[in-house]
């Protein structure tokens, strides 16, 4: 029975996954059941047969190995069904196998359809964070529709497009359509001169100042000035002739060349010993400063020469250069951090050699891997989050395990490892920025919960730090596992921070009571622990509650204002009393806050169904009443207690009056009711929001198949 149930569940979830992938591949074209005319002789009326010819290869791609997806892509276009255009566009943009993307681009070039032209433009220029595909430019040039060549020319003239893509478009137009260029003119190419001017100014100044340092003169400042002027002018002239991507590429080569030259001196040179003191000579006396200046200058020249020679062969885009730099920096920073965690040695050359090797290997790996790596917004956020988490965990682990070594070494090592892990994981991840934010939020709640429990338990510092990290790591993992299950919309984004603040408030006030009553010997630890635990528990609880409610931001915000008013009335009431204990203050605030938020929450719920605009009017009236009441009595010379009482009375009257006034004002308009109930997870609801399957009625009025209709445009 169990095996049968597992098999049934497996088939069900497999069917859901296949259907979801089918929807993603078809990219939700507008009314896919209404194809554009491809061929006058072709009968493209959707039938069971035409639908099967379209759907079968799509489902086959779901489990097909990478080397077989190109053949399945060709099957999509076999029936000349324009509905395949959306699927081919998706494959060309998102498939990670080159053969499949090339096949999809080639097949799109065969469809005499405006949608195919639009898809090729997207693929050629790079949309949705995807790297531009040069093959799409050739497909546009050879496309049967005249509008495709016009689109190719627009790409060549688009100043906002990637300069390398524009240059390739001009080359293709010059090869295939020279008459069009003669008629319309050759587009002017070149990138912005700002980056090249600033970068050349810096490296020019650095180069000439290095010459002065190498000659052991005091001409360094003059070298900086002269080199900056000459470099800026040179960068401006040549920067207009090369693309922005090439500018990033060359400036990165200069930077890494200078760094490698500098590090080479410390990796190779033995620092001389002063015979009198027996201590190593300083850098200037040992000649290391001159050597660093000279080798750094040589590194710049060598780096630029190598980059220039390999520029056309590598043909790196701006994103590729950024990715390569990120990999190299992560490797360098991680190695630097690791070197701080080992015992120092008299001979520092092995350490510098390791740092130099990490930089060189990082550059090589980055340049090699960057063209094949793809990043969307979720991937970038994921890499940033794992970098920060790695540094955080690395610093604490160093403090726990290696208390005699600097914590910044662990931070650097953890950051480097986290960045590299993020780059690798992102290539297989489908997390959106919101999913990553949920991971970080749960990790933060986990850290707070672990630290709070450690305070309450009174454990040793190292144990407390370990619990803090373990629960934080569990939260990070839970966030990753829940990414495809949870969703946050509307008021959910307001509910979570509001609940977190309430949790901190409740935990802190309960801690005040425990400390004031002397219930435990470590009252301050209990206060800190309960504050952290309260914030974490309320925050996690609100994330769970958000899955069961559908309030708007307006409703969630207005529904929580009762807590503020409860604290307001409690605070001013306590100000009228003398000799109030800490317990009385905390209990009064707790009771008033809970009563206030319970009141406004009920008013906003479907039971009472108050318009949030009415609640906003009540809040405004309360503030106005408090201000006016206190102001008039203060002007009349009343004492402090009388002013406080006027404040309280004005607040109460203002709340009631403002609410009634707004209710009468909006009496004739629609009231925004609070909607509650379970909402299906995005991974289950999205496919059914995106498509609809309708029966196809054939000859004789009989249903002979299903027609898939897209409900969203691309």
Close Cβ partners of 368 (under 8 Å, ≥ 6 residues apart): none
Place of tokens 């940033």: 384
Closest CA to 383 of 439, 444, 447: 439
Secondary structure (3-state) at 346: coil
Predicted confidence band of residue 501 (pLDDT cuts 50, 70, 90): very high
Average pLDDT score, the chain: 79
The residue-averaged pLDDT of 141-159 equals: 87
Query: How many CA atoms lie less than 13 Å away from 610 in the CB half-sphere?
Result: 22
Concatenate the DSSP letters of all residues of 173-187 into one string: HHHH-HHHHHHH-PP
Tens of pLDDT, residue by residue over 348-375, are 889 999 999 999 999 999 999 999 998 9
- What does the alpha-carbon distance between residue 280 and residue 277 come to, in Å, rounded to a whole number? 8
pLDDT at 192 over 70: no
Q: What three-state secondary structure class fits 324?
A: helix
What does the chain come to in residues?
714
As a 3-state breakdown, the chain gives helix, strand, coil percent values, each rounded to 5, of 75, 5, 25
User: Which among 23-27, 113-117, 152-156, 528-532 has the top mean pLDDT?
Assistant: 528-532
pLDDT at 672 over 80: no
Task: Give the residue carrying structure tokens 């990165």.
Answer: 252
Place 341 in a pLDDT band, splitting at 50, 70 and 90: very high
- pLDDT for position 578: 84
Rounded Cα gap, residues 610 and 607, in angstroms: 9
Instruction: Specify the 3-state DSSP secondary structure of 255.
Output: helix
- C-alpha–C-alpha distance, residues 363 and 439, integer Å: 30
400 compared with 274, residue with greater pLDDT: 400
User: Residue 231 in contact with residue 195, Cβ under 8 Å?
Assistant: no
Express each pLDDT in 438-463 by its tens digit. 999 999 999 999 999 999 998 999 99
Q: Are 616 and 557 in contact (CB under 8 A)?
A: no
Tell me: pLDDT of 39 over 50. Answer: no
- Residue 609 region, left (φ>0) first, then alpha (ψ -120 to 50), else beta? left
Kindly give the residue spans of alpha helices, DSSP state H, lying in 269-348.
283-286, 288-314, 318-340
Answering whether pTM is above 0.95, one says no
Rounded Cα distance between 561 and 554, Å, is 11
SS3 633: helix
Beta pairing partners, 444: none
pLDDT higher than 50, residue 162: yes
> What is the mean predicted confidence (pLDDT) over 469-484?
92
- 698: pLDDT strictly greater than 50: no
Distance from the Cα of residue 544 to its chain's centroid = 23
More confident residue, 474 or 195: 474
Contacts for 578-585: CB closer than 8 Å, 24+ residues apart: 581/516, 582/512, 582/513, 582/515, 582/516, 583/512, 583/513, 583/516, 583/517, 585/512
Residue 27 phi, psi (nearest 5): 55, 15
Output the CATH code of domain 2-184. Answer: 1.25.10
How buried is 250 (Cβ within 10 angstroms: 0-12 exposed, 13-18 middle, 19+ buried)? buried
Contact call for residues 252 and 316 (beta carbons, < 8 A):
no
Greater confidence (189 vs 376) lies with 376
**CA gap 169, 508 in Å, rounded:** 64
Whether the predicted pLDDT of 679 surpasses 50: no
Q: Where are the domains of the chain?
A: 2-184, 192-312, 548-665
Q: With helix as H, strand as E and coil as C, how does 477-525 read?
A: HHHHHCCCCCCCCCCHHHHHHHHHHHHHHHHHHHHHHHHHHCCCCCHHH
Gyration radius of the chain's alpha carbons: 34
């Amino acid at each position: 029975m169990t095996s049968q149930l597992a098999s049934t569940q497996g088939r069900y979830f497999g069917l859901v996954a296949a259907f979801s992938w089918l929807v993603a591949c078809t990219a939700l074209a507008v009314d896919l059941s209404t194809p554009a005319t491809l061929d006058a002789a072709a009968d493209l009326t959707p039938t069971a047969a035409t639908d099967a010819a379209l759907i079968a290869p799509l489902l086959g791609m779901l489990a097909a190995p990478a080397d077989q997806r190109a053949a399945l892509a060709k099957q999509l276009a076999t029936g000349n069904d324009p509905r395949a255009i959306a699927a081919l566009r998706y494959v060309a943009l998102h498939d990670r196998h080159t053969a499949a993307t090339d096949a999809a681009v080639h097949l799109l070039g065969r469809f005499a359809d405006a949608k195919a032209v639009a898809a090729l433009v997207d693929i050629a220029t790079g949309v949705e964070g995807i790297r531009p595909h040069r093959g799409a430019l050739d497909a546009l040039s050879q496309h049967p529709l005249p509008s495709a060549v016009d689109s190719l020319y627009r790409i060549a003239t688009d100043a906002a497009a990637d300069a390398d893509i524009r240059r390739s478009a001009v080359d293709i137009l010059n090869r295939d359509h020279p008459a069009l260029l003669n008629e319309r003119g050759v587009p002017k190419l070149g990138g912005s001169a700002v980056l090249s001017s600033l970068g050349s100014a810096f490296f020019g100044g650095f180069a000439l100042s290095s010459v002065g340092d190498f000659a052991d003169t005091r001409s360094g400042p003059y070298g900086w000035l002269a080199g900056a002027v000459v470099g800026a002018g040179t960068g401006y002239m040549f920067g207009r002739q090369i693309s922005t991507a090439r500018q990033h590429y060359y400036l990165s080569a200069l930077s890494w060349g200078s760094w490698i030259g500098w590090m080479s001196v410390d990796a190779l040179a033995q620092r001389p010993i002063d015979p009198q003191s027996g201590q190593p000579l300083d850098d200037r006396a040992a000649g290391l400063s001159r050597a660093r200046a000279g080798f750094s200058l040589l590194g710049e020249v060598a780096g630029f020469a190598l980059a220039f020679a390999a520029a056309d062969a590598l043909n790196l885009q701006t994103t590729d250069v950024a990715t390569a730099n990120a990999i190299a920096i992560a490797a360098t920073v991680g190695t630097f951090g690791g070197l701080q965690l080992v015992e120092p040695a008299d001979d520092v050359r092995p350490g510098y050699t390791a740092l130099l090797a990490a930089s060189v290997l990082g550059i090589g790996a980055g340049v090699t891997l960057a063209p094949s790596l793809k990043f969307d917004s979720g991937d970038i956020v994921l890499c940033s989050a794992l970098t920060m988490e790695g540094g955080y965990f690395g610093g604490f682990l160093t403090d726990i395990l290696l208390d005699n070594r600097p914590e910044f070494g662990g931070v650097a090592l953890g950051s480097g490892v986290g960045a590299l892990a993020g780059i690798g994981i992102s290539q297989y991840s489908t997390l959106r920025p919101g999913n990553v934010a949920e991971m970080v939020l749960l990790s933060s709640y986990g850290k707070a919960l672990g630290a709070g429990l450690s305070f309450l338990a009174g454990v040793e510092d190292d144990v407390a730090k370990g619990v803090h990290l373990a629960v934080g790591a569990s939260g990070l993992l839970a966030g990753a596992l829940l990414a495809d299950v949870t969703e946050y919309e509307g008021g959910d984004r307001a509910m979570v921070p509001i609940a977190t603040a309430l949790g901190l408030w409740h935990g802190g006030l309960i801690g005040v009571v425990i400390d004031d009553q002397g219930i435990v010997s470590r009252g301050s630890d209990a206060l800190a622990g309960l504050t952290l635990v309260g914030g974490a528990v309320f925050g996690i609880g609100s994330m769970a509650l958000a899955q069961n409610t559908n309030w708007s931001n307006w409703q969630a915000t207005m529904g929580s204002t009762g807590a503020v008013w409860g604290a307001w009335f409690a605070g001013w009431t306590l100000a009228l009393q003398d000799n109030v204990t800490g317990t009385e203050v905390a209990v009064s605030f707790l009771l008033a806050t809970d009563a206030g938020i319970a009141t406004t929450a009920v008013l906003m719920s479907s039971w009472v169904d108050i318009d949030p605009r009415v609640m906003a009017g009540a809040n405004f009236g309360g503030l106005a009443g408090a201000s006016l009441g206190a102001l008039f009595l203060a002007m009349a010379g009343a004492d402090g207690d009388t002013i406080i009482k006027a404040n309280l009375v004005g607040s109460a009257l203002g709340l009631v009056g403002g609410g009634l006034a707004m209710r009468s004002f909006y009496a004739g308009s629609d009231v925004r009711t609070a909607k509650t109930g379970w909402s299906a997870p995005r991974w289950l609801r999205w496919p059914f929001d995106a498509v609809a399957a309708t029966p196809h009625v054939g000859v004789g009025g009989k249903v002979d198949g299903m027609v898939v209709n897209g409900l969203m445009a691309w």
